[in-house]
């Protein structure tokens, strides 16, 4: 099994490949400026990359007085990567080319029956089916990237002890080594927040030096990027944002009862569902009572439907959760000072109220605002960000 780092063996060629990938389409003249290489060395590297099929000529650029410059871009069909997003509600698989254009996809609902063994079988079958369908040759398949619910051990490719999975067995799962044995290609694993941020970076945020990504759904997940590189700590930091204490005498964490008043105790889909059920039991009026026989049957889809109907109780619950989320975001802004904050996940993408209130509260409580020009945005790739970013992780490794 070839190492990803060995596909492009020359260090200077890696540098040129990375610059062309970052620019999309770039002239030889611009590459001289970006790379700092001599003209003869750059020419040799371009010829080497073109001969091995990694790049191709793409016409001529605008003339600045002399001959029109020759343009280069990645050769999309030189390599293909699979990206896998292993999340609590839905797992997604995408097949992408070198420029992260999606060619195919599959998804599975994470029910009580979706154990790690069952999911692995489904994923392997889907990868083999897509490989046959698109007639991918072995020397074109670079590898598989996995963005999984943390915490994870990236070095060993293991999902450690994630919360909220409905099926049993989701502890100490060596997903990376298992897929490598089944498929015979390199497999990389990172937490899903990191891969989502990678996807959003390559989808049009390369001009920002400092990026923060926060995903709000069944739980809270975050990632940080500085100067185009993901920021890592001594342990996996994906779920740390949810354990930020914002009220010391607040409710216990849903899964860690010894932790009181953390952000995830106020902001998550399970918390909203439980709060709605509790209010119905207290006698609060809501259209929810017409849609379920028992308060415990309330699901997120019911809450969204009620929110669309301007239900007073549900609007109150979402407003409260968004306010707490905004407070958590302001704490992150005051510590990390990103230029851009990308928000994703079901709580962000499925309703406007939560996004607007949380970002307004965050800005109001941020030091140096409005002179600190932070930008908030929803993720461009929505639900597929984690899987596409997992594929991007494999392409990134080519030039590491």
Residues 68 and 84 grouped into a single domain: no
Residues 233 and 375 grouped into a single domain: yes
Residues 190 and 51 grouped into a single domain: no
pLDDT band at 39 (very low <50, low <70, confident <90, very high): confident
pLDDT band at 210 (very low <50, low <70, confident <90, very high): very high
Residues 216 and 331 grouped into a single domain: yes
User: CB of 115 within 8 A of CB of 54?
Assistant: no
| pLDDT over 80 (residue 66) | no
Task: Answer with the one of 47, 77, 107 that is the final residue of a domain.
Answer: 77
In the prediction, which pLDDT does 56 show?
A: 86
| pLDDT over 80 (residue 1) | no
Assign residue 16 the CATH number of its domain: 1.10.10.10
In the prediction, which pLDDT does 60 show?
A: 72
pLDDT digits (tens, 9 = 90+) for 272-324: 999 999 999 999 999 999 999 999 999 999 999 999 999 999 999 999 999 99
Angle at which helix 269-281 crosses helix 312-336, to 10 degrees, equals 150
The SS3 call for residue 267 is coil
User: What mean pLDDT is predicted for residues 203-229?
Assistant: 90
| pLDDT over 80 (residue 59) | no
Assign residue 106 the CATH number of its domain: 3.30.420.40
Residues 315 and 345 grouped into a single domain: yes
Count of CB atoms situated within 10 Å of the CB of 130 = 19
In the prediction, which pLDDT does 6 show?
A: 83
Residues 84 and 190 grouped into a single domain: yes
Residues 161 and 72 grouped into a single domain: no
pLDDT band at 133 (very low <50, low <70, confident <90, very high): very high
Residues 343 and 232 grouped into a single domain: yes
In the prediction, which pLDDT does 70 show?
A: 80
In the prediction, which pLDDT does 84 show?
A: 98
Residues 189 and 217 grouped into a single domain: no
| pLDDT over 80 (residue 69) | no
Of residues 126 and 219, the one with the higher pLDDT is 126
User: What mean pLDDT is predicted for residues 225-250?
Assistant: 87
| pLDDT over 70 (residue 396) | yes
Residues 129 and 192 grouped into a single domain: yes
161 Cα distance to chain centroid: 19
User: In whole angstroms, what is the distance from residue 230 CA to residue 232 CA?
Assistant: 6
What percent of the chain is modeled with pLDDT above 70? Answer: 98
Strands 210-216 and 340-344: parallel
pLDDT digits (tens, 9 = 90+) for 365-384: 998 888 888 999 998 887 88
Residues 177 and 253 grouped into a single domain: no
| pLDDT over 70 (residue 214) | yes
In the prediction, which pLDDT does 61 show?
A: 64
Buried/exposed code over 345-356 (b: 16+ C-beta within 10 A; e: otherwise): bbbbbbbeebbe
What does pLDDT average to over the chain?
90
pLDDT band at 64 (very low <50, low <70, confident <90, very high): low
User: What pTM, to 2 d.p., does this model score?
Assistant: 0.89
DSSP state of 204: T
| pLDDT over 80 (residue 254) | no
Q: Output the CA angle 179-183-186, nearest 5 degrees.
A: 70
- Identify the sign of the CA torsion 5, 11, 13, 17: positive
Q: DSSP readout, 67-109? A: SPPEEEEE-GGG-EEEEEEE-SSEEEEEEEETT--EEEEEEEE
| pLDDT over 80 (residue 62) | no
User: What mean pLDDT is predicted for residues 124-149?
Assistant: 94
| pLDDT over 80 (residue 24) | yes
Q: How far apart, in Å, are the Cα atoms of 86 and each of 79, 143, 179, 183?
A: 23, 17, 13, 18
Domain span at residue 28 reads: 4-77
Burial class (CB in 10 A: 0-12, 13-18, 19+), 387: buried
Domain count within the chain: 3
Residues 90 and 106 grouped into a single domain: yes
Which residue, 328, 332, 317, 125, is CA-closest to 231? 332
pLDDT band at 131 (very low <50, low <70, confident <90, very high): very high
Task: Answer with the one of 48, 77, 106 that is the final residue of a domain.
Answer: 77
In the prediction, which pLDDT does 2 show?
A: 64
């Amino acid at each position: 099994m070839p190492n990803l780092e060995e596909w492009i063996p020359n260090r200077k060629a890696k540098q040129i490949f990375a610059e062309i990938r970052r620019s999309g389409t770039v002239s030889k003249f611009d590459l001289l400026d970006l790379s700092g290489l001599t003209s003869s060395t750059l020419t040799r590297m371009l010829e080497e990359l073109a001969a091995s099929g990694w790049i191709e000529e793409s016409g001529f650029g605008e003339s600045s007085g002399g001959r029109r410059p020759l343009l280069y871009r990645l050769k999309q069909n030189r390599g293909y990567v699979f990206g896998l997003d292993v999340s609590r509600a839905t797992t997604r698989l995408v097949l992408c080319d070198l420029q992260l254009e999606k060619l195919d996809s599959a998804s599975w609902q994470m029910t009580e029956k979706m154990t790690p063994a069952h999911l692995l079988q489904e994923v392997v079958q889907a990868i083999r089916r897509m490989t046959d369908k698109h007639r991918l040759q072995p020397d074109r398949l670079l590898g598989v990237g996995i963005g999984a619910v943390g915490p994870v051990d990236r070095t060993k490719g293991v999902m450690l002890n994630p919360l909220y999975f409905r099926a049993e067995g989701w502890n100490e799962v060596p997903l990376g080594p298992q897929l490598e044995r089944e498929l015979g290609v390199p497999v990389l694993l990172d937490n899903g927040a990191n891969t989502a941020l990678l996807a959003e970076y390559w989808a049009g945020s390369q001009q920002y030096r400092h990026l923060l990504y926060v995903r709000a759904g069944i739980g809270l997940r975050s990632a940080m990027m500085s100067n185009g590189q993901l920021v890592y700590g001594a342990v996996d930091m994906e779920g740390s944002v949810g354990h930020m204490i914002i009220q010391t005498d607040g409710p216990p964490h849903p899964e860690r009862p010894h932790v009181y008043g953390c952000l995830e105790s106020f902001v998550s889909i399970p918390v909203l569902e439980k709060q709605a059920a509790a209010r119905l039991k207290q006698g609060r009026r809501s259209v929810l009572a017409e849609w379920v026989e028992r308060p415990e049957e309330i699901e997120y889809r019911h809450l969204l439907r009620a929110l669309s109907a301007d239900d007073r109780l549900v609007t109150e619950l979402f407003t409260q959760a968004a306010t707490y989320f905004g407070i958590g975001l302001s704490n992150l802004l005051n510590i990390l000072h990103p230029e851009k904050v990308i928000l994703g996940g079901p709580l962000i993408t499925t309703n406007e109220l939560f996004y607007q209130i949380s970002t307004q509260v965050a800005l109001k409580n941020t030091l140096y605002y409005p002179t600190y020009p932070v930008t908030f945005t929803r993720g461009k790739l929505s639900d597929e960000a984690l899987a596409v970013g997992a594929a991007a992780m494999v392409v990134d490794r080519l030039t590491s």
